[in-house]
Every structure is written in structure tokens, then in C-alpha cells.
Structure 1
Amino acid sequence: MTVTAPTGTTEAVLACGEVRTCLLPSFQPLDIRAAAHLLRLRPDERVRTSERPNLYALSPDTLTGVDCRLPTSNGAKLRAVGTIAARAALTEGRVLQTTAHFRAPAAGPDQRQPWGHYLVRPGVVEPLGRMPERSVAQGTLTGGRPGELDIGHIADGLLTRILRHPLLDQQVPFTSRHTRLRWAALRAPEGEGPSMVRFVLAEEDLRTVELRVPATVRPSAVVGLCEDLALHDWLLTTVVRMLDGSRLGSLEGPAAVLALRPAVDHLLHLWMPRARVDRALGPLWEVLEQHPGFSRQWQTLVQRIRDQLALQAIPLLREALASR
């Protein structure tokens, strides 16, 4: 059964979330049927799958009830109650993502309501009283204090659950690291379009994104944009680390080819920015293309890999011609 919110009760001025991205611990990528089995988090809703423009599977949402303080940048204590929505996605049977997110109205009831009130508002967290949305957005991006809402913990819990699935053989074709993308989207001023205020490489594995989004944009579209951004950031980060650790300048012949093979076999074909981003938010990718220049950096990395493979092929071709 799908629960929908009553009309006019979830007018959100803020949405926040966190995306965890990692390499699926399976030596072979999963086909679309296996991917659907892996992401079947609820028996009452099906996994959505797609084969164009690449293999993609998206789980139904799961809900986690919360009753705690919201993180704030000024340390103000603000209690909120509601549900956090979480979902998982698998791209090309190879890259796994889990996302936890919520949206919040500018104000909620002054007193805590029965759980039934919150369950018919899935993915909505209501403050007790008025919410300082800018302070909550900044508090979420910088990370909360003990006892405050931690959406990253919920995303990580779902990731851990899926990684333990018996379908996975716990073998990986190459080593990589998890990344986290934490985001907050405030309401854009009346008459203005979506904008990306800042994108920050906060820590070695953490990125933060602050957005402004018109009221007409669906919350699910914002979640999809941030998942797409997290996916391509993970691809860039993984290939950069792969090349940095491969000692390409000192390797020759088969050793150099073996060092580059994981990127060619498993990653290069995954680069498809905006493939599943809502058209209303597509222009935000242009910001990333200008600075820091996602696709420009990716193409440079791809060309570097191809150049190395071409250099290693020259002596092998000479040997083949000489043996004739």
C-alpha cells in the first residue's frame, strides 16, 4: 500500500539528504533481474528498472521514524518529529548508492502529534513550532551534534543492510573507497530558477552541496539530481585514485595494461551526466561543467588512459610484426 500525504500539509521550504556511493562487492556486475532482487526492500512495492541509456534499478522508499533535535548552525535546540525516506539505486550492476532524505515545512504543530499524523506524511519531518530553515540547512551540511538528526547514519544503515545480501559474493574487481554527498535545498526566491550556491569537497570522502530550488520542482527531482552528482563524483574520485596509485610512468607492457584494465572494464562507460536528471534541474549541471569542470576532468583522465594503452600497444605490435 502506498501512503500519500494529505493535500496542503507538506509545503516544504527545506529538503536535506545524504548519498552514500560505493562499488558493489560482486566480482561480476549484476544483471537487471538480479539487481531488482537485491533492491527489493519492501514486499508491497516493486523495484523500478530501466535499460536505457544504461542498466539502472531503483528501490522503493523505506521510512524511518525520528523524534529528535534538528541540527542547527547556531546551536539552537529545535525538536522535530516525522519520517526519513531512504532508497537504494544500482547503476550498470556495478555502483551502489543509498540515499536518506527529508523535507520540512516552515512551521509545525506546537505539540507532538500521534504517530498516525506523521505516517501519512512520508519523508516529512515537522518542527515543533517555527523552523529557522537557513540555520537547519547549514547545520545539516556541517554535521550535527550528538543527539541531533543524522541522516547519514540512516543512509549508511541501509547501505550496510544491502551489502550483507546473500546474492553478493563479497569480491571486488578492484579496490575503491566509499564517498558521501550531503546536500541541502532551500526554497528559491519567487520568480527565480534553480541554482547551485556551492559545491565543496569538504573532506577526503565528503562533499557538500547547497541548492536553491523553486517550489514547483518535485522533491524526488532534487533527490535524483544529488544522486546523479554523487555517482559522477565517485567515478571521478575513483579513477583519479586509480591512476595515482598505478605508477603508470614506471610500468611497462602487461603490468601497465593490467593497472588500467579495471577502469576500462568497469568505469569508463558509466559516465552519463544528466541521464536521469529532471529537465527543470538539468541546467545545474552546467555549473559543475564550468567549475570544477566535471566532464573536462573526466575526458582528460580518459585520454590519459587511452594514451597509455596506445603506448603499451606499440612494442607489442612490433614484436608481432617481427615474428612474421
Structure 2
Amino acid sequence: MLTMGEVHTGLLQNSGPLSLDRTVKLLDVMVGQRVRRSERPIAYAVSPDQFTGVDCRLPSASGRVSRGVGTVVSHAAMTGGHVLQGSSYTRVDRAAANRRLVWSHYLSRPGQIEAIGKVDARDMAAGFLTAGYQPQTLNLGSISNRVMDTVQNSSGLDRRSPFRTQRTRLRWVVLPAPEPSAEARGTFRVEANGLRTIELVAGQDDGHAIVELCEDLALHDWLLTTLLSLIEFSLTGPGTRTQKIHRLRPAIDCLLHLWMPAARLDESVLPVWQDLERRPGFTRQWQTSVNRIRDQVTLSTIALLEEAPVA
């Protein structure tokens, strides 16, 4: 009926990037399960999935009261040794029985919530994407936040991040397309207070590919948002050109090499990224910002050469 999730993205609280081996140790949170890792096109690791049992109200834009019982999947992911993500998601289906069953029933269906009572998928999607979390209502954001905080509080980190930045939150939902063979399409929105939303319509029920798409989108939205913030802070603040370039150094050291949209995604979800590249033009805006930084570095270098004494 409906799949929904939330991804939180932020900078790892460490003065330098972690090697892939150190990242794997940091994300090794469950005995007997391996951390998934890859080195190309960039260092990337994902912790084993964890499952959280829930028994709560389901989101609703209209205020409809319905109950959901089941489990939520969550994990942490690290990109380039710098960027940390906490991701949680679940699939909501109508319950076969109009009553709560024993927990063993729900534990046998990991990553699935059964809706008890009358529910409408679009009403639930609208409530999840646009409404604030209400008491006793399914809160995927708190689970994603907890996953990130668990990693950030690790004793293996020095908690001295190279620059200050804010976390972003991406809430996403997937509604079934009328035709099973239809390509995935999405509508992306930038909301207030670091919130982004994307409503997807997909014909194929490929949950893993959708989750990776949303995590990749959240990563690159955070990179772009953070880069734009650093540029504004660095270039509009007081100081000499050299001082302004010095404030841009964290962007050069930590961010510029991480931009690789859709590099690990399944082909079935690539149309969503292609839409985002047409409008609002993620890579176009990123490249314009990178060129601006490089122009400022070039001008600063020229000015230093002109000021240098002639031997």
C-alpha cells in the first residue's frame, strides 16, 4: 500500500576523515552481522539493519485515527569517511485481521507495519510528509536520529568536526503506480528548518533500490546545502580575500570530492535522478558553486603573486 522513510544526514564529529577500515569498525554494531562496504567510486559503508517494534497511530493529514503495529528497519551509513546518515523506513499494509495479533506475527514480517482500521494511502502519505509529528504517532525521524547519535557518541571519535553545519532531514514516501511496469518518478520539495520531502510513484516494488535512491538524494542535497552555506558565510563575511579563502578550505578538503550522484543506484530508479537533474538541476547548481570557489582561489593566488616582492 505505502512505503515511507526518513533519512538524516550530517557531518561526522571527527577532526578528520575516517579510513574505510575505521568506518567499518565504527558501524559494526551487531554481533554476527557484517558491515556492507565498498571502495569505488568512493569509500562507503552501511551498518547491519536493526529492527524496532512499534505499536502506534499512523500519520494522517485529515486527522483520521488508525493503528499500526509492526517493525521499522534502520541503519547508519558513512560516505567518504566524513558524512554520516541515519536511515529508517517501513512498509505499511492493511492488516488481514481487524485486531492486534501476538508479536511473533509481526516479527516474522520485518520492516512491515500492519494498519488496523480504515486507512487511505494518500492521506497517510500527506500526513507523513507535511504534518509535524504528533504524540503517539509513528515517528521515523526519532529512530533515524537515534541511529546517528549512537555513532556520533562513539568513543572512537574526537568530536572536533572541521566546520559547523546543520543536519538535514529527508522524508520520503512511495505510492504504487497504476501500471506495474511504469518508471519511478518523484516530486522533490525543500521545506523549512532543514526538512526535504520527496513523493515517489513506482511501478516495481523494489524496496532496496528505493531506499538507496532516497539515501543518495539525501546525501547530495546535504552536500549542496552545506556547500552553499559555506560559500555564503565565507565570501559575504568580513576580512581580506585571503581570510575568506581560508574559510572556504573545509569545503575544498571535505566536500568537493564527494559529489557522485547516482553512482551506486539501480537502473530502475535512475529516472528520478534524471528528473532532478533537469529541475531543479542539482549538478548544475553544484558545479556553479564549485567554479565560484575555484575562481576565488585563482583571484587570491593572483593577488598574492602581485604583492610578492620582486627579487
Which residues of 2 match residues 137-176 of structure 1 at below 5 A?
137-142=125-130, 143-176=132-165
Cα separation, partners in 2 of 1:50 and 1:139, compared to 1, 3 Å = same
In 1: Cα distance, 2:68 partner to 2:303 partner = 66
Q: Following TM superposition, by how much is the alpha carbon of 1:317 offset from its aligned partner in structure 2, in angstroms?
A: 2.4
Which residues of 2 match residues 229-308 of structure 1 at below 5 A?
229-247=217-235, 251-308=239-296
Which TM-score applies when normalising by structure 1? Answer: 0.92
Amino acid paired to 1:201: V
Q: Following TM superposition, by how much is the alpha carbon of 1:110 offset from its aligned partner in structure 2, in angstroms?
A: 1.2
Q: Which residue of structure 2 aligns with residue 193 of structure 1?
A: 183
In 2: Cα distance, 1:307 partner to 1:137 partner = 44
Cα separation, partners in 2 of 1:311 and 1:250, compared to 1, 3 Å = farther
Confirm or deny: 8 A CA contact 1:108 1:130 kept in the other structure: no
1:248-277 Cα shifts (integer Å, max 9, x gaps): 585434312211111111000000000112
Q: Which residue of structure 1 aligns with residue 310 of structure 2?
A: 323
Confirm or deny: 8 A CA contact 2:69 2:115 kept in the other structure: yes
User: Mind listing any 5+ residue stretches in structure 2 that lack a counterpart?
Assistant: none
In 1: Cα distance, 2:96 partner to 2:239 partner = 62
Q: Which residue of structure 2 aligns with residue 8 of structure 1?
A: none
Tell me the secondary structure at the aligned position of residue 37 of structure 1.
helix
In 2: Cα distance, 1:188 partner to 1:260 partner = 44
In 1: Cα distance, 2:205 partner to 2:75 partner = 20
* Alignment RMSD (CA, Å): 1.4
Confirm or deny: 8 A CA contact 1:256 1:312 kept in the other structure: no
Q: Which residue of structure 1 aligns with residue 90 of structure 2?
A: 102
Amino acid paired to 2:129: L
Correspondence 1:83 to 2:71: yes
1:17-50 Cα shifts (integer Å, max 9, x gaps): 0000000000010001110111112112110111
In 2: Cα distance, 1:294 partner to 1:235 partner = 10
Tell me the secondary structure at the aligned position of residue 121 of structure 1.
coil
1:104-149 Cα shifts (integer Å, max 9, x gaps): 2244421111111111111101111453111111111123322111
Confirm or deny: 8 A CA contact 1:26 1:172 kept in the other structure: yes
Confirm or deny: 8 A CA contact 1:173 1:262 kept in the other structure: yes
- Which piece of structure 1 moves more, 155-164 or 243-252? 243-252
- Which piece of structure 1 moves more, 275-284 or 247-256? 247-256
Q: Following TM superposition, by how much is the alpha carbon of 1:308 offset from its aligned partner in structure 2, in angstroms?
A: 0.2
Amino acid paired to 1:32: L
Confirm or deny: 8 A CA contact 1:21 1:178 kept in the other structure: yes
1:170-200 Cα shifts (integer Å, max 9, x gaps): 001111111100111111111422111x211
Confirm or deny: 8 A CA contact 1:71 1:148 kept in the other structure: yes
Q: Following TM superposition, by how much is the alpha carbon of 1:318 offset from its aligned partner in structure 2, in angstroms?
A: 3.1
In 1: Cα distance, 2:32 partner to 2:3 partner = 26
Which of 14, 21, 33 aligns to 1:26? It is 14
Q: Which residue of structure 1 aligns with residue 168 of structure 2?
A: 179
Cα separation, partners in 2 of 1:308 and 1:132, compared to 1, 3 Å = same
Cα separation, partners in 2 of 1:249 and 1:84, compared to 1, 3 Å = closer
Aligned residues: 309
Amino acid paired to 1:204: N
Amino acid paired to 2:134: R
In 2: Cα distance, 1:247 partner to 1:220 partner = 41
Which TM-score applies when normalising by structure 2? Answer: 0.95
